[in-house]
Amino acid sequence: MTPASRFLFIAAIGLATASQAAGLKPGQFAIQGQNVTQQICVVSDGTWYGSTFNWSGRWSMEGGVWQLNGNYAVGDQYYGYGNSSMQLAGGAVKWYDWYDDASYQHYEVAPFAHVKTKCDPPYTGANTQAVSQ
């Protein structure tokens, strides 16, 4: 590798790393799960909410990975709460969803894509099942 090509290679890695670090911008995103497609709105204040399911939470960068955590109520049945933990990397989300009482647990790696810049309003209907069902 010539010095010039080595410089270009290192510069390209730097640009890719910088764009990944800046990668989660406010807007609406789709999670294409095995059983359902959900859409969430990422807000610039470090929060997010669902526009297709009544759930919400906080997001942050942790160890170079975007982390989204949140929870939601489930209908009239007592499960405690439903909880979701999501890690974003390379256009995919590692999504773990579970009930407080452990009666439901689900894990998958799903595509995650930007839908639009202006978000739909939060979904306010009642949840009757887990967000990943």
Domains of the chain: 25-116 (2.40.128)
Q: What is the mean pLDDT of residues 94-107?
A: 93
Phi and psi based region of residue 95 (left: phi greater than 0; alpha: psi -120 to 50; beta: remaining) = beta
The Cα-based distances of 57 to 6, 10, 72, 89 in angstroms read: 43, 37, 9, 19
- pLDDT of res. 74: 87
pLDDT at 53 exceeding the cut of 60: yes
Q: Cα separation of 130 and 43, whole Å?
A: 23
What pLDDT band is residue 128 in, cutting at 50, 70 and 90?
Answer: confident
pTM: 0.79
pLDDT of residue 84: 96
pLDDT of amino acid 42: 97
% residues pLDDT > 90 (the chain) = 62
Strands 27-32 and 37-42: antiparallel
From the number of C-beta atoms within 10 Å of its C-beta (0-12, 13-18, 19+), residue 50 rates as buried
Mean pLDDT of 85-109: 93
Mean pLDDT value of segment 53-78: 90
For 1-29, the pLDDT digits (tens) are 444 333 333 333 333 333 334 568 899 99
Please report the pLDDT score of residue 79 as a whole number. Answer: 67
If you compute the radius of gyration of the chain from its CA atoms, what whole number of angstroms results?
Answer: 17
- Residue 44 per-residue DSSP state: T
76-82 mean pLDDT: 76
Instruction: State the pLDDT at residue 4.
Output: 38
